[in-house]
Chain A
Amino acid sequence: DAGITQSPRYKITETGRQVTLMCHQTWSHSYMFWYRQDLGHGLRLIYYSAAADITDKGEVPDGYVVSRSKTENFPLTLESATRSQTSVYFCASRQDSVSNTGELFFGEGSRLTVL
């Protein structure tokens, strides 16, 4: 199906384990983003990517790693999960940066719990 999908939708892990959240989009959008949403903080940008092999840090990048070897995929890895990374993670994509095609499309979210 066309669109932007995240997996897994729900994940429970333990402190210190590595976790990877997957994001896949079928539109060949240039830009992809990872956000986390926490009560009291709203959405915050973790990392973004302007194209394959180009990634940049957002507001809260510490403890996260991203890669973008293919345009359609943008995985987010927590190399050693901590309780403070318990959150809902949203992936988003857009065609262009600042133009009439700049609408953001969000995945369904991945709820991660770190015990």
Chain B
Amino acid sequence: KNEVEQSPQNLTAQEGEFITINCSYSVGISALHWLQQHPGGGIVSLFMLSSGKKKHGRLIATINIQEKHSSLHITASHPRDSAVYICAVEGYNNDMRFGAGTRLTVKP
């Protein structure tokens, strides 16, 4: 079993829909990261969380440390949100474990 599990693996949505991507992990962590990888391959950091909730524009990330679970929400989705979203958990010595990613396609 992978230490970081993401669901769903693939997600197709219509423009405007509310989207949720889930991440569950099995190890103790110091922080959790959400990353976005564009079709061209570049990777961008969206959030780093150690507790609670963060919001940036239409993106919201939450984490429940007790349940070892995080969610990434996208409100009012747009075709430009189409990308692979990657969850990564960070241990206490800079080691990072990555989920396999969720491929999101938003159709106009």
Contact = CB atoms under 8 A, between A and B. Distances in A.
B43 interface: yes
B42 A106 contact: yes
Interface of B: prevailing SS: strand
A56 B44 CA distance: 24
Contact of B45 (A31, A100, A105): A105
A106 B99 contact: no
Interface stretch (B15-23, B59-67, B70-78, B88-96): B88-96
A42 B94 contact: no
Interface string A71-115: 000000000000000001010100001101011111011000000
A29 to B, nearest CB: 13
Interface residues of A, number: 26
Interface stretch (A14-22, A43-51, A62-70): A43-51
Contacts of A98: 30-31, 50, 90, 92
Which of A42, A48, A92, A103 neighbours the largest number of chain B CB atoms within 10 Å of its CB? Answer: A42
Contacts of B30: 98
B86 A97 contact: no
Nearest to A39: B100
Given A43-B88, A103-B48, A106-B44, A59 B95 contact: yes
B41 interface: yes
A45 B94 CA distance: 10
A109 B42 contact: yes
Given A42-B98, A50-B94, A97-B94, A104 B42 contact: no
15 contacts: A33-B96, A44-B98, A45-B96, A50-B94, A56-B94, A92-B43, A98-B92, A100-B48, A102-B31, A103-B45, A103-B48, A104-B48, A106-B43, A108-B42, A109-B43
